Structure 1
Amino acid sequence: MTGTPNKTPIHIVHTEASLGWGGQEIRILTEAAGMIRRGHQVTLLCPPEAKIFTEAKTRNIPVVALPIGRKNFSGLLAMRRWLKANKADVINTHSSTDSWLVALASVGLSHPAAIVRTRHISAPIPDNASTRWLYKSATQHIATTGELLREQLIKQNGYSPSQITSVPTGIDTEHFVPGDKTTARETLNLPQDAKIIGIIATLRSWKGHQYLLDAFAHLADQNTRLVIVGDGPQHAALQTRITELKLNDRVTMPGNQLDVLPWLQALDIFVLPSYANEGVPQAILQAMLCGLPIISTPIGSILEAILPEQTGLIVEPKNAQQLQEAINRLLLDPELCKVLGSAARARAQEKFGLEAMLDKMEVIFNNAATHG
C-alpha cells in the first residue's frame, strides 16, 4: 500500500483477546504510544484479566476492559455495544478471537469502522468460506510482521497482494544500543569472568528453549552461563529439564523484565532457536541493535533480519547438535562475534527503526479510514 500519512487525527482502536504477554502485545502498546505522539486518538479494547490491560494503564494508553477473551455471545454483545456507542475510524485487530468478534459485531452497523488485521505469526490460516469472508470481505487491509508472511497469504490463501502490507516491528534505535558489559553484569549480579549466552522470549514450546538447554549442556567450555529471560507456560517444564541436565548452577531464569536492555548488554551471544510461528521477532531486532552475535533458525520472517554468515548464524530448527556447534564456533572466534554483531546493528538501524513502522501503519490506517 502506498501513500503519505494524512496529518488529520483519526481514532484508532486496537483489539487484543490474548491474555498472554510477548512481542505481539509489546508491539501493540509501542505502536499505540507512537500514534498518540503523532496526534491520533487511540483506544485499546482487551479482557480485564489480560496483562496488556495493566501494561496499557502503566504506559498511559487509554484502555477499556471488555469480556473478549473467548469467542462467545457475551463477548460479541459487549463488542457490539461498544462499537455502537463509540465512533472509531479504524479498528486494528490482532488475534483470531477479537478479529471474529469485531467483524461480526460490525455487521449491520450504520457507519462501521474499517478493519485492519495485523498478522504477527506464520501459523497457516484455514482456507474455508467463513475465514475467507473474515479476511477478504470484512477486513479492509492486512498488515503482516514480515514479507514472508505476506507472501504466504498471497500464495497459500489467494489473497490480493494489494490488500496486504508487510510492516516489520519497529524498535527504538535510541534505547537499544551496545553498553558496558561489566556494568551490566554488575547490576544484574552476573559473573564477570564467564561467557554468557542468552535468550529473551516468552516461555512457549515453539521458541525452542528445550533445544537450547540440550545444546548448552554439551558445550565443551564449562565456564559458560545461560540466561533465560521471560515467563510463560513452559516455565515448570524448563525448570525440570534444567534439573535433569544438572544445570541449576549455570542457568539463570529472572522471569519477565520491564526493560531487557541491561540483560542484552550483559550477553556475549544471543540465541533464539524457534521452530514455528515467527514473524520478525522483536528480541532478535533488539539484540541486533545491541551489537550481539545471534544464532537463530530460518522460521517465519527471521531471515529478513538475519542474513546467514553476515548478520548472524542460522541452524536447523529442533537441532540441538547444530545449535551446540554454532555456539561453540562463536565462543572460539571473538573476531567473528564482532563482525556479526557490528553488521547486525547496522542492518537493524537501517531496516527496523520505530519511525519506519509508524510511518507504514499510519498510511494503512489513514487509507483504511478514508476508503472504508
Structure 2
Amino acid sequence: MVISKLNIVHTEASLGWGGQEIRILTEAAGMMLRGHQVTLLCPAEAKIYEEARLHGIPAVALPIGRKNLRGVLALYRWLRNNPADILNTHSSTDTWLAALASLLPGAQVPIVRTRHISAAIPNNQATRWLYQSATYHIVTTGEKLRQQLIDDNGYKPETITSVPTGIDTSRFKPGDKTLARQQLGLPEECAIIGIVATLRSWKGHVYLLDAFAALGNPAARLLIVGGGPQRDALQRKVVELGLQERVIMPGNQRDVLPWLQAMDIFVLPSYANEGVPQALLQAMLCALPIITTPVGSILDALQHEHTALIVEPRQADPLRLALERLLADQPLGQKLAQAALVTAREKFGMDTMLDKMEVVFQGALKK
C-alpha cells in the first residue's frame, strides 16, 4: 500500500504523565520523521503540553481537560479552522469531545481512538455509539485489550487493530552496569532490583516493597524510578518496613536508560490498567531478567519461563520467591534476559508500530 502524507491531529485530555503520554509523543515524532504533519491538542496545564514542545512536536493548548460544552466548542472551532485528515484521540474525555465536535458542520474528521489500558468500558448505548459509530477505528496497545473489547463489549473485530508501542531499539540496549552505577552514584557491589513506573497504586509498588522486605538478602537494594501520586504513601511504607537504607527513590527521570542499565533484575507487579508497558519493553531491550504479572497485554510480550517469570498480581509472596530464584540462579536470569532481548527486537521496534498506524490511518481516511 502506498501511504500518502497525512495531517494527523492527536488529542489528549489527561494531565498526568506515563506510558500513554510517552507513546503519543513517540508516535508523533516518528510520523513527523516520515513526512506527516502532526499536531497535538491538549490542556495548557497538561504535562504532555510542555514535553511536546521540548520534543519539537507542535502543540496547541485547548480547554479539553473536562467533558463540557466549552471543550466541545473549543475543539470544534480549532478543527473548523485547521482541517485535518485524521483525529487520533487517546482518553475518554477528549474522545467524547471530539465525537460531539465532529457532529457539527465543518469539523467532520475521521476519528481513530487509541485504547492504552485494560480498564473496562461501560456497556451502554451511548458508549457503544462512541466506539462503533462516532469512531472510525479503534487501536489497542495489545491483543488482549483488543479481544477484551470484542468479548466483553461485543464490538466488531474488523473495527479494532492491536498496535503495541514501538521502542527505539538503537537507543535502548544493554550497557556497562558498573559505569552506569558510577554515573548515578549507586552502590556497585550489591544486587539492585528495580522498577521504572509512574507511582500509581495499580503498578503494584506496595507488593514489591513487601516482597523486598522479606528477602533473605540484606545487601540487596531496591531502586524505584518514577514520580506520581503514590510517592508520599510509598515513602511512608518504606519507613514502616524499616527500609530507608535499602530503598532508593530518585523520582521521575527524563532519561531512564542508565537507570535500567544499572539494574540486575527488573520488576513490574502491575495489577490493572496495562497494555504492553513501555518500561517492560525497555527492560527487555536492556537484557534484564524480568518479573511481572499477566495483566492487560503483558503476555503479548513475555512468556513465563521463556522470557520472564510471571507471578500472580496483588501477592507479595510469589513475588519474593521469584526474586529469590533469580538472585540465586544467574544463568536462569541470563537465559530469560537474552530471549526477551531477541523478542523485543523482533516484535516491538519503532518501524513496526509506525507501519501499522499508517495502515490504520490510511484505512480511516478512505471510509
Partner residue, 1:114: 110
Report the Cα distance in structure 2 between the residues aligned to 1:111 and 1:283, rounded to whole angstroms. Answer: 37
Do structure 1's residue 242 and structure 2's residue 242 form an aligned pair? no
Amino acid at match of 2:234: L
What's the CA shift string for 1:271-316, capped at 9, x where partnerless?
0000001100000000000000000001011011110000000111
Do structure 1's residue 45 and structure 2's residue 41 form an aligned pair? yes
Amino acid at match of 2:209: L
Partner residue, 1:268: 264
Report the Cα distance in structure 2 between the residues aligned to 1:160 and 1:357, rounded to whole angstroms. Answer: 22
Q: Report the CA distance shift for 1:5/1:282 in structure 2 as closer, same or farther (over 3 A).
A: farther
Do structure 1's residue 66 and structure 2's residue 62 form an aligned pair? yes
Report the Cα distance in structure 2 between the residues aligned to 1:316 and 1:5, rounded to whole angstroms. Answer: 45
For the aligned residue pairs, the C-alpha RMSD in angstroms reads: 0.7
Partner residue, 2:175: 179
Q: How does 1:339-354 map to 2 (within 5 A)?
A: 339-354=335-350
Report the Cα distance in structure 1 between the residues aligned to 2:106 and 2:53, rounded to whole angstroms. Answer: 31
Report the Cα distance in structure 2 between the residues aligned to 1:54 and 1:304, rounded to whole angstroms. Answer: 32
Amino acid at match of 1:192: E
Do structure 1's residue 258 and structure 2's residue 254 form an aligned pair? yes
The CA deviation at 1:370 is 2.2
Report the Cα distance in structure 2 between the residues aligned to 1:259 and 1:349, rounded to whole angstroms. Answer: 20
Do structure 1's residue 369 and structure 2's residue 350 form an aligned pair? no
| 3-state SS of paired residue (2:113) | strand
| 3-state SS of paired residue (2:276) | coil
Choose the corresponding residue for 2:209, options 213, 225, 235.
213
Partner residue, 2:291: 295
Contact kept, 8 Å, 2:168 with 2:349, in 1: the verdict is yes
Report the Cα distance in structure 2 between the residues aligned to 1:181 and 1:152, rounded to whole angstroms. Answer: 39
Choose the corresponding residue for 1:203, options 176, 199, 207.
199
| 3-state SS of paired residue (1:227) | strand
Amino acid at match of 2:223: V
Contact kept, 8 Å, 2:101 with 2:107, in 1: the verdict is no
Alignment gaps of 5+ in structure 1 = none
Q: How does 1:1-372 map to 2 (within 5 A)?
A: 4-6=1-3, 8-110=4-106, 112-371=108-367
Report the Cα distance in structure 1 between the residues aligned to 2:63 and 2:252, rounded to whole angstroms. Answer: 25
What TM-score comes out, normalization by structure 1 length?
A: 0.98
Contact kept, 8 Å, 1:5 with 1:359, in 2: the verdict is no
Amino acid at match of 1:154: I
What TM-score comes out, normalization by structure 2 length?
A: 0.99
Contact kept, 8 Å, 2:204 with 2:314, in 1: the verdict is yes
| 3-state SS of paired residue (2:187) | coil
Identity %: 66
Report the Cα distance in structure 1 between the residues aligned to 2:127 and 2:355, rounded to whole angstroms. Answer: 29
Alignment gaps of 5+ in structure 2 = none
Report the Cα distance in structure 1 between the residues aligned to 2:2 and 2:71, rounded to whole angstroms. Answer: 33
Report the Cα distance in structure 2 between the residues aligned to 1:109 and 1:36, rounded to whole angstroms. Answer: 29
The CA deviation at 1:9 is 1.1
What's the CA shift string for 1:180-199, capped at 9, x where partnerless?
00000000000011100000
| 3-state SS of paired residue (1:143) | strand
| 3-state SS of paired residue (1:108) | coil
The CA deviation at 1:110 is 3.8
